[in-house]
Amino acid sequence: PTVIRREDYRPPEWLVPETALDFSLGAGETTVRSMLKVARNPDGSGDKTIRLNGDGIEARSVSVDGKPGNGWRMDGPDLLIDLDGDEHEIAIETVLKPAQNSQLMGLYASNGMLCTQCEAQGFRRITFFPDRPDVLSSFTVRMEGPKDAFPVLLSNGNCVKEGEDGGTHWAEWHDPWPKPSYLFALVAGELVSNHDTFTTMSGRKVDLNIWVRPGDEDRTGHAMESLKASMKWDEETFGREYDLDLFNIVAVSDFNMGAMENKGLNIFNTRYVLADPETATDADYDAIEGVIGHEYFHNWSGNRVTCRDWFQLSLKEGFTVLRDQLFSADMGSEAVKRIEDVRILRSAQYPEDSGPLAHPIRPDSYEEISNFYTATVYNKGAEVIRMMRTMAGPERFREGTDLYFERHDGEAATCEDFVKAIEDGAGLDLGQFRLWYSQAGTPQVKAKLLHENGFATVRLEQTVPVTPGQPEKQPMPIPLKLALFERETGKHKGEALVVLDKESADFSFKGHERRPVLSINRGFSAPVAVEIDTTSEDLVFLAAKDDDAFARYEAMQSLVVRHLISAIGGGLGERERDLERDAVSQAIESALFDEDLDDLMRGELMILPAEAYLAEQMLVADPGAIHAEREGLRAWLGEELQEDFEDLHDRVSEVPYGRDAASRGARKLKTQALLYLAAGAPEEAAERAARQYALADNMTDRQGALMVLCGLDVPERDKALADFRKRYEGNALVLDKWFALQAGSLHPDVLEHVRELAGHPDFTLGNPNRVRSLYMAFAMNPAAFHAESGEGYRMIADLILKLDPINSQTAARFVPPLGRWRRIEPVRSDLMRGELERIAATPHLSRDVREQVTKSLG
Ligand code: HT7
Ligand code: ZN
């Protein structure tokens, strides 16, 4: 396999100041004529050969400076031409078959329309080009096609000319902003738009369109509101103004990821555009707001300043995730958003960091770049930048980002450029901090509180675990916010920020006559795992009293994690277990009745730590034991607090539907309460859930009730499932939920259900949303995936092999769950490894799957 290394970066030999593309569109066949004005790069080595990347395409003709010729050759998939002068014009014709493009990279057909996906290396599936992010070009795009099939023709920038000739029509688009090929986009199809406008801070009017299939326009209101809010927020918070007169978003049903930030023409998975209360949950609404914001924010962090090479991916993704997190926090509850973000980090990124695919946020090498669109690059990347913001404070951080945008506008930059700009602009010394970019692994911090002579001393020790290719690690600077609570008053004297930058250090605070209670990593100020030497009483105290919402949640989680881990390990006698369960029950009960809490936050405090997170706490995990103990605790709490949960469910069921926080909080609690009740007294709960299902006037309640019913072996289950399917006939996104609820359920027969669902007429491997809804929900369902028989592992391995030739990017995303084998008990571990070996032994694997499987076995 060819390994691409960061250290091998060389500037491009040739630049492409101008690109003109001419598309003759057809779903069966599309002809692309490109004209590239190329110029020798003064920073290159003087090589006279230009390398134009290609992938699965053939050149029908090539000419240089108007002369067709054969002075070109192929080098694998790439086209090479020797050029004598410093400037030339290269014309190339390629022919594509969009309807046959099941990989969904390059130009493809989706639901009758044509659309593109070029990041990271899809442009080379359209035409030959130096397909690397540091080659920026001015694009002019002409497209023509049958008006009945493709009434709307869109590309980046502005439409400068259009016309028609019989049944054919054409449009020419010009993007005034030079951009790398990965930001190119084209869409052609039968689309209708929700149109609005936004006036920027300098008074420019921008036309906004959200394009969808006819019939879907009524479900675009929330996306449009989110877009306008994003534009305003970026002006106010980061001083960034939009820079074109037009901003288009198109929703497509077949898409490998969430959305794509193409300049002036964002392309979205329908999932992150379409919503109304009847078909979208509160979580869907939040996700739409977050993704719309994310893609919009890329206009500056990604497009105006782009990446020099793909190793710098976190430069745009980590920063943009941080920006979208701050945006969502400002739009709703800051505390709840922080908790949700940490939950994602812990369940998706921590396992990555402790497994065979661990990599730094700026990787050193890759075989297939698509495999590096990871939680590490995105979410840990955001945490790393958030730490800089915490150390600098928001105002100085803003000075740093202003300097970054000013210095690098129009450039292809590096992570180092970003750090330097923050260092200079915010006045921080980030010398040692750069280790966060190069070292993988989640740092482990041990915290101990010592108390003597009125001094409280926080003793901290860090270790950074060994990860593949990184046997030795250096201590990292870890900014930790902490507070010391007086037991009697329940108050502290102010929060401190300490930076642990050595293997160990003591931080002393005077004026503590009595031993205080330590609250540490408040607000999750650093993406580390903290092991704190404290008592359950202190955790109960913090769970009830901490004034930092995240720390309060954390104390509750720690209390439960601590109990479950010792119970799973078999270290608790019957009596001890009951005592510990009592402590958990009391903590939950006090959260249920705390009048200072809003319901959204109350809902967070009720969520039990995920099984994947519990597994992370153990060197070798037994998924069966984890599942049994966690569900056992839930059932015990469900019985113990049955009346409380019933009262709670009754109370919140009275709250009418609205998009406000109180109403959303009520819905969150409704389903949380049902989950406990279903575990404690399944039959009674089934009735309650069926009632919630029947009375629901919104998808959050309906889906919540159905989720609970799906996990129970009761007659109400099948009835509700059949109703759900019929009620939302023809709505693909809701049908995805129907698949996912069954595959992700607690029902003992999930494996059988998934097998049956895979043969359902509505199931297809051609649509990534549908594949994820069935199989990712299953792979993330610990009890089913880790079935002792190994059938769950076999099912996912079979899927990978079947999906690989159809959509290798999506197939490769199913490898990491199997790659956890080293951290699983021996019987299951062997079965998991066996499936990986079976995949590895299969001929003709894609580069995507091969890289993930080889590394997972290595
Ligand atoms: N920047 C976008 C990445 C993306 C992508 C990458 C590989 C294959 C398909 C893809 N679709 C979109 C998404 C984002 O982070 O904004
Ligand atoms: Zn992004």
Atom of ligand 1 minimally distant from the CA of 257: 11
CA of 327 to the centre of ligand 2 (A): 14
- What mean pLDDT is predicted for residues 101-126? 98
Range 728-858 has CATH code 1.25.50.10 = yes
DSSP per-residue codes, 114-168? EEEE-TTTTGGGTS-B--STT--BEEEEEEEEETTT--EEEESSEEEEEEEETTE
Paired with 517 in beta bridges are 485
Confidence of residue 113 (pLDDT cuts 50, 70, 90): very high
Atom of ligand 1 minimally distant from the CA of 294: 16
**pLDDT value, residue 530:** 98
CA nearest to 255, candidates 242, 277, 274: 274
Most informative mutation of 102, 107, 260 for ligand 1 (most atoms within 8 A of CB): 260
Whether 257 lines ligand 1, by a CB cut-off of 6 Å, is: yes
CA distances from 68 to 91, 101, 632 (A): 9, 29, 74
CA of 260 to the centre of ligand 1 (A): 5
CA of 544 to the centre of ligand 2 (A): 37
- What mean pLDDT is predicted for residues 36-58? 98
Atom of ligand 1 minimally distant from the CA of 321: 15
Looking at the chain, the domain(s) classified CATH 2.60.40.1840 span 457-526
- What mean pLDDT is predicted for residues 356-365? 98
CATH number for the domain running over 457-526: 2.60.40.1840
CATH number for the domain running over 4-190: 2.60.40.1730
- What mean pLDDT is predicted for residues 821-838? 98
Residue of minimum CA distance from atom 14 in ligand 1 = 260
Q: Are strands 78-82 and 87-96 parallel, antiparallel or unpaired?
A: unpaired
Query: Which tokens is 39 given?
Result: 């110029």
Confidence of residue 9 (pLDDT cuts 50, 70, 90): very high
CA nearest to 135, candidates 295, 307, 362: 307
Looking at the chain, the domain(s) classified CATH 1.25.50.10 span 728-858
CA of 314 to the centre of ligand 2 (A): 9
Most informative mutation of 55, 101, 119, 263 for ligand 1 (most atoms within 8 A of CB): 119
Active site residue 295: yes
Residue of minimum CA distance from atom 13 in ligand 1 = 260
Confidence of residue 570 (pLDDT cuts 50, 70, 90): confident
Whether 303 lines ligand 1, by a CB cut-off of 6 Å, is: no
Please provide residue 2's backbone torsions phi and psi, each rounded to the nearest 5 degrees: -85, 125
pLDDT above 90: residue 672: yes
Confidence of residue 102 (pLDDT cuts 50, 70, 90): very high
**DSSP-derived 3-state class of residue 327:** helix
Whether 370 lines ligand 1, by a CB cut-off of 6 Å, is: yes
- Ligand found nearest the CA of 272: 1
CA of 718 to the centre of ligand 1 (A): 37
**pLDDT value, residue 1:** 87
Encode pLDDT of 491-518 as tens digits. Answer: 999 999 999 999 999 999 999 999 999 9
Looking at the chain, the domain(s) classified CATH 1.10.390.10 span 306-438
Residue of minimum CA distance from atom 1 in ligand 1 = 260
pLDDT above 90: residue 813: yes
Q: Are strands 138-146 and 168-174 parallel, antiparallel or unpaired?
A: antiparallel
Question: Lowest-confidence range among 231-235, 574-578, 627-631?
Answer: 574-578
CATH number for the domain running over 306-438: 1.10.390.10
**pLDDT value, residue 19:** 99
Confidence of residue 571 (pLDDT cuts 50, 70, 90): confident
Whether 291 lines ligand 1, by a CB cut-off of 6 Å, is: no
pLDDT above 90: residue 810: yes
Selected catalytic residue, list 295, 383, 423, 640: 295
Encode pLDDT of 581-631 as tens digits. Answer: 999 999 999 999 999 999 999 999 999 999 999 999 999 999 999 999 999
Looking at the chain, the domain(s) classified CATH 2.60.40.1730 span 4-190
Whether 120 lines ligand 1, by a CB cut-off of 6 Å, is: yes
Asked whether the ipTM of the predicted complex exceeds the cut of 0.90, the reply is: yes
- Ligand found nearest the CA of 120: 1
Residue of minimum CA distance from atom 5 in ligand 1 = 119
DSSP 621: B
- What mean pLDDT is predicted for residues 837-847? 98
CA nearest to 392, candidates 428, 420, 416: 428
Residue of minimum CA distance from atom 15 in ligand 1 = 317
For residue 309, give the amino acid letter.
Answer: D
Cβ neighbours for 779, distance < 8 A, ≥ 6 positions apart: 785, 792, 796, 814, 817
CA of 445 to the centre of ligand 1 (A): 33
Residue of minimum CA distance from atom 12 in ligand 1 = 260
Q: How far apart are CA 327 and CA 324, in angstroms?
A: 5
**pLDDT value, residue 580:** 94
Confidence of residue 69 (pLDDT cuts 50, 70, 90): confident
Q: Are strands 59-64 and 113-117 parallel, antiparallel or unpaired?
A: unpaired
Atom of ligand 1 minimally distant from the CA of 317: 15
Angle in degrees, CA 421, 427, 429, rounded to 5: 85
pLDDT above 90: residue 750: yes
CA 213, 215, 216, 222 torsion: positive or negative?
positive
Q: How far apart are CA 745 and CA 689, in angstroms?
A: 15
**pLDDT value, residue 133:** 99
**pLDDT value, residue 848:** 98
pLDDT above 90: residue 520: yes
Q: Which H or E element spans position 174?
A: strand 168-174
Average pLDDT of the chain to the nearest whole number: 98
pLDDT above 90: residue 70: no
Whether 117 lines ligand 1, by a CB cut-off of 6 Å, is: yes
Q: How far apart are CA 823 and CA 621, in angstroms?
A: 6
